[in-house]
Amino acid sequence: MSFSGSVWVIVPFYLLLTFVVTAASEQCGSEQGDKPTLQTLSEELNKTEGLGSVGGQACKAKRETGDEESEENWRIETGLDFIRENTMLRIDEDLYFGLDEYSKFRRDELSLLELVRTFIREVKGVRALPLGASATVLSGDDTGGNKPAWCFYPYQLKNLAQTEVIIYEVLRDFYWSVLKKERKGQFLALDSYLKDIEESSLRAITYVEYTNEKKNSTFEDREDPYLYIATHPLLLYRMVRRFAEDLQPILLELEEYEDLISDLYDKANPDLVVFPNHDDLTDALESIKRIQEGTNLNTLEFATGKMDQLQTDIHVNALHALEIGAYYFTAGHFAYAVEWMYYALNTVSQSSVIEKYPIIERFFRKSFDHLVEVHNQNWEPTSKNYWNLGVFHTKVTAPFEPKSYVLMRQIMKDEAAGLRKTLDWNWSVNVNFMHVCAGKNLQTEEERKGLKCWLQRKHNPYWSINPLKMEILNRDPPVYQIYDFIGDKLIEKMKKAAVDGLERSTVVDRNDHSRSVVDTTRTSSQVWLYDDRENGKFLLPLTYRMELLSQLTIAPPQACDAYQVASYGPSHHYAPHIDSFEDTRRAVAKGNRIVTIMGYMSHVKAGGRTGFPLLGVAAEPIKGSVVMWYNLKKNGAERDMRTWHGGCPVVFGVKWITNKWVYYNENFRNFPCGLNQDE
């Protein structure tokens, strides 16, 4: 598959360079004589020092001797402008040895995603770093392993958004006061960088500040514009992309302006924080993929900022969609790759620049056609294509109309729903989990009978004056959601106690149940708060309320775990799992986990439900509410395998939760067995 990805880009670049050479030869025909061939182009590229224009040495000489107006006219007439005016396509000699050498030596070394990024750099006028180079202008040195995993910590991303605004202000002032005055060079990459942040992060800041003023929000209720950037998946991606791809090459070009670099160090990064790199950009792309796959978002809506019924004023442009589509292609999810490339092609086709330069549309169309071809090659003519859900229900034919095609996982919905009560793990669990995470209720009419909300005043006099706001989400096994159970002040105190100690969550190692490891199946961050320690005494009232709710013993340390507080940023999730232990050795001291009480400590703008795929229902993340369910059967010995559940991907925002797990040994008297040993 990597070979076909390389072939894809060779054809467009032959086409692209053919048109570029034709345009350049028409402009410089008197100097060069006959039109240059691909072979002569390759030779010219090898002669050129550094970043050369594909027009050849004669055109280069003409631009150097002509005035600025002639140079501008030459660039426009050559037809190399892309999405923006004043953006010139350039070829990096360090990456392309010339077309013949590229096709011979580079085909298998560069993935499609890398080639797309190369194309985007050329379009935006970004100088590619030398192969193997590690640029550290302004950024700290990551050789000591001190680089944050940016996309896993939303509050660090919030600080990064604040830092970038400072960088923007310094570069903007320098751009207008120095570069425009001196008229030195084109600095196209800097111009593109400034425009990108203005139409994304700065646009979001303006929107949030306006909304805060309009609502007359108090200080406590005001939304943080920088956290908004850090938790919006498209804003996050665009910000990380600027740091990883655009900023370093720009700063390297500006190193001669020592006062500027010094000013940036002092104002933006005095602590030498290590900025995001390509690993973080991959994480940001993976976040988009996980959100879309996990919640079944429509591609064309997602690309224009609509997420889970919430419309935002943020979108991605054709170049972003090109990269996202290439990432899906690399991951083998060809249907989404086709949809993102269709969005890119459609966006480009509607641009006025295409009227002058049809080569651009042809490049995108050729790319789209190739992804369609690869999709069709990987499509299997069977309705039981369980393990290749990244395709449409049928092969793609022209003309492509997105509404006419349905993802295979959508086609599998009814069959998966019919298998959801199967207790053994199978393919349907993931499909059903995706649908409940998207807000679909899969319960039958019979299962929904008797589900209700009520005020609970029984079981303890305390509830007679302060009744519980109960809702039953499932009857057998029972799953309850209780609203307004945790107060706002306590929530803020818990979050304040937890935020500085957050570390990546772990899961039990599949090969060694005695150890825990970081894994992509669980991408949250967490910390433990102990109500039996001096700094955790403020949690005891909540513990006692949980005892009254569950009618179980919880306060003694041997009866439960400490409070696990977890934070989920955009795309963060926890794959379906069961809270009770499979390895009985872990249950020797306290017994197994009999009950889970999970509290929501924040509202989530979109996504973030807790899905029960075998039960066909999901709990909504409503701040202050708790969800309670039983992990063991009434006999206290067997795990209830119907309680598979997982944390659905957060689409937009931050989800805070707290978990309290209660154990069997201290509660065997409070948890009576049923009359049937199999209950």
- Which residues contact residue 245 at a Cβ distance below 8 angstroms, ignoring those fewer than 6 apart? 117, 120, 121, 126, 278, 281
Beta bridge partners of 593: 663
CA–CA dist 352, 429 (Å, integer):
47
Residue 369: pLDDT band (50, 70, 90) is confident
pLDDT value of residue 110: 54
pLDDT value of residue 185: 52
Quote helix, strand, coil % in the chain, to nearest 5. 50, 15, 40
Give the rounded distance of the alpha carbon of 112 from its chain centre.
20
For 529-593, the DSSP string reads E-TTSGGGGGGHHHHHHHHHHHTS--SSGGGBPPEEEEEE-TT--EEEE-SS-SSGGGGTTT--E
Give the rounded distance of the alpha carbon of 168 from its chain centre.
23
Give tens-digit pLDDT for 79-90.
333 333 323 233
| Choice among 483-492, 646-655, 666-675 with the minimum mean pLDDT | 666-675
pLDDT value of residue 631: 94
Which class is domain 444-667? mainly beta
CA–CA dist 375, 407 (Å, integer):
12
Give tens-digit pLDDT for 248-270.
888 887 888 888 888 888 888 88
pLDDT value of residue 427: 79
Tokens 């449409």 label which residue? 392
| Choice among 382-391, 440-449, 575-584 with the minimum mean pLDDT | 382-391
Q: How many CB atoms lie within 10 A of CB 385?
A: 18
Q: What is the per-residue burial (b if ≥16 Cβ within 10 Å, else e) of 41-50?
A: bbebbeebee
Q: Is the pLDDT of residue 515 over 80?
A: yes
pLDDT value of residue 42: 28
CA–CA dist 113, 282 (Å, integer):
10
Q: Is the pLDDT of residue 71 over 50?
A: no
pLDDT value of residue 224: 94
Tell me the average pLDDT across 400-420: 82
Residue 230: pLDDT band (50, 70, 90) is very high
User: 350 is written with which tokens?
Assistant: 């509607």
CA–CA dist 328, 381 (Å, integer):
22
Residue 547: pLDDT band (50, 70, 90) is very high
Which tops the pLDDT comparison, 125 or 50? 125
Residue 48: pLDDT band (50, 70, 90) is very low
pLDDT value of residue 88: 28
User: 99 is written with which tokens?
Assistant: 């077309």
CA–CA dist 488, 614 (Å, integer):
32
Residue 677: pLDDT band (50, 70, 90) is low
Looking at the chain, how many residues does it have?
A: 679
Give tens-digit pLDDT for 153-210.
999 999 999 999 999 999 998 888 876 666 555 577 888 899 999 999 999 999 999 9
pLDDT, mean over the chain:
78
User: 252 is written with which tokens?
Assistant: 């390297």
Domain residue spans of the chain: 2-106, 134-139+148-293, 444-667
Q: Is the pLDDT of residue 653 over 90?
A: yes
Which tops the pLDDT comparison, 147 or 650? 650
The DSSP secondary-structure symbol of 106 reads I
pLDDT value of residue 672: 72
pLDDT value of residue 128: 60
Give tens-digit pLDDT for 104-130.
333 344 567 777 787 777 777 676 655
Tell me the average pLDDT across 68-89: 33
Give tens-digit pLDDT for 435-491.
999 999 999 999 999 899 999 998 888 899 999 999 999 999 999 999 999 999 999
Amino acid of residue 594: I
Q: 3-class secondary structure for 404-473?
A: HCCEHHHHCHHHHHHCCCCCCCCHHHHHHHHHHHCCCCCCCHHHHCCCCEEEECCCCHHHHHCCEEEEEE
